[in-house]
Amino acid sequence: MKLQRQTAVRIGKKRYPKWVVIIPPKQIEALGWKKGECLECDIIKSNPDNPELVIRKESTEKT
């Protein structure tokens, strides 16, 4: 996987970045994710020196 920084918006001389994570197609297929699906994420801090980002398909259940 690869993390990339891209310019999302440029206003005058100021650039505002967005971050993009490149996930290989085989992993997307294995997860059953499709183009346009909504994803959600959480940051897990079980180890303060190495927090983790968890990405999953958005839950369709309403609580």
Q: What is the pLDDT of residues 24-46, one digit of tens each?
A: 999 999 999 999 999 999 999 99
Which residues fall within 8 angstroms of residue 58, CB to CB, at 6 or more apart?
A: 37, 38, 39, 40
Q: What pLDDT is recorded for position 1?
A: 87
Question: What is the reported pTM?
Answer: 0.68
Q: What pLDDT is recorded for position 62?
A: 58
3-class state of residue 15 by DSSP: strand
Residues in the chain: 63
Following CA atoms 26, 32, 35, 39 in sequence, which dihedral angle do they give, to the nearest 10 degrees?
Answer: -110
